[in-house]
A and B are shown apart, each in its own frame.
Chain A
Amino acid sequence: MLNMIWAFMILGGILCGVLTGHVEELSCAALESAGDAITLCITMAGVVALWMGLMEIAKESGLVERMTKGIAPFLHFLFPRIPKGHPALEHISTNVIANILGLGWACTPAGLKAMEALADLEKERGNPPQVASNEMCTFLIFNISSLQLVPVNMIAYRSQYGSANPARIIAPALLATLISTLVAIAFCKWKDRKEPPMKGRMEDETRAGGEAK
């Protein structure tokens, strides 16, 4: 995906620049942006190192584990049909916690493992493997709705570009992300009811006399 986007940016950009007569600016832009990227990374390095250092303490002190236990009832509400103690739940909670704490790099491995575990669960249920289960849809929609407590990178960018108060956006961003997550949950719960999980779906259909979709 990124290969195509990058090819488009470079090739499309140069073609467009030649056609609109901006050839001089092109070489300048290419060199300058490479330099800007380094300046930006220097600011980012400080913020990210600070954050990751704190999170290491949180991990060592058992705070992360405690949070995992804390969100268990919530995960049970989101995924009532995953049996207790199933590995999928553990991976999902690691992914959600990492997301909340803004540990971008730690989210993905746990998220991928969660998806694999959910695929195994579908196999155990005897459903076709290539179709997304309700749990997978819910997990992904919830994940994409983004639940970040402190948008660390954004704060770093803001301070790099001379914001008077880089942290000012934390509360509104939290509120906005809460809204998007609530919409995500409401949508998934509605779909769970309207399009019951595969196995339950057939039972429901016989019960409703083929009325249910």
Chain B
Amino acid sequence: MMTQVSNFIIPAVIFLVVGFGVLGHVKIYESFLKGASDGLKIVVEIVPTLIGLMMGVGILRASGFFTLLERALAPVAALFGFPAQILSLLTVKLFSSSAATGLVLDVFATYGPDSYPGLITSIVMSCTETVFYTMSVYFLAAKVTKTRYTLTGALLSTAAGTIAGIILAAAIA
């Protein structure tokens, strides 16, 4: 059921957007090409970031660092029945989305994207944000130093999303 809804969403969005464009007399094909070329530029811009971070994660993994960290975290992870790798991933995601991406791909390479750990990763990474990064950038723009209850709220909502994601992953795995 959940999978059927998922499969339906992308075709539905495409149909809706193109249909609306036709009704609005938009030169849909030209608009599409313009957007697509912007999209390519964005990807080209993130190539260096991805190389840098995947290299960093690659070195960390080869060095045995994650093995050490995960050995330390294993008892906690065992309580929830998933590999300790997920815990390092959740921690990294609070700071940097691109650094987390390196670890996501690591989980996919080790367990496969359709395994239980792979599904947890896919869902939880899609429903959480980089709490510390976003807060620092946005509050910097507003020149605010006293952030009051923002961090509590952000962590609470992230925790709720994470728990929901783990339960849902178990349900569809």
List the interface of chain A (C-beta within 8 A of B).
1-2, 5-6, 9-10, 12-17, 20, 22, 25-26, 28-30, 32-34, 36-38, 40-41, 44-45, 48-63, 105, 108, 111-112, 115-116, 118-119, 129-132, 136-137, 140-141, 143-146, 148-151, 153-154, 157-158, 160-177, 179-184, 187-188, 191, 195
Q: Which residues of A contact B13 (CB under 8 A)?
A: 54, 149-150
Q: Is B43 within 8 A of A131, CB to CB? A: no
Complex: chain B residue closest to A145, CB-CB: B157
**B76: CB under 8 A from chain A?**
no
Q: Is B52 within 8 A of A144, CB to CB? A: no
Q: Is A45 within 8 A of B123, CB to CB? A: no
Q: Is A161 within 8 A of B105, CB to CB? A: yes
**B72: CB under 8 A from chain A?**
no
Q: Is B122 within 8 A of A154, CB to CB? A: yes
Interface size on B, residues (CB 8 A): 107
Q: Is B135 within 8 A of A144, CB to CB? A: yes
Q: Which residues of A contact B101 (CB under 8 A)?
A: 153, 157
Known: A28-B62, A57-B32, A158-B122. A171 touches B150 (CB 8 A): no
List the interface of chain B (C-beta within 8 A of A).
2-3, 5-7, 9-10, 13-14, 16-18, 20-21, 23-24, 26-28, 31-40, 42-44, 46-47, 50-65, 68, 95-96, 98-99, 101-102, 104-105, 108-109, 112-114, 118-119, 122-129, 131-139, 141-150, 152-154, 156-158, 160-161, 164-165, 168-169, 171-172
Q: Is B153 within 8 A of A32, CB to CB? A: no
Q: Is A157 within 8 A of B108, CB to CB? A: yes
Closest beta carbon of chain A to B116's beta carbon, Å: 13
Complex: chain A residue closest to B130, CB-CB: A144
Closest beta carbon of chain B to A6's beta carbon, Å: 6
Closest beta carbon of chain B to A54's beta carbon, Å: 5
Q: Is A53 within 8 A of B35, CB to CB? A: yes
Q: Which residues of A contact B139 (CB under 8 A)?
A: 115, 132, 136, 140
Other-chain residue from A30, A40, A157 in contact with B113 (beta carbon distance below 8 A): A157
Q: Is A165 within 8 A of B7, CB to CB? A: yes
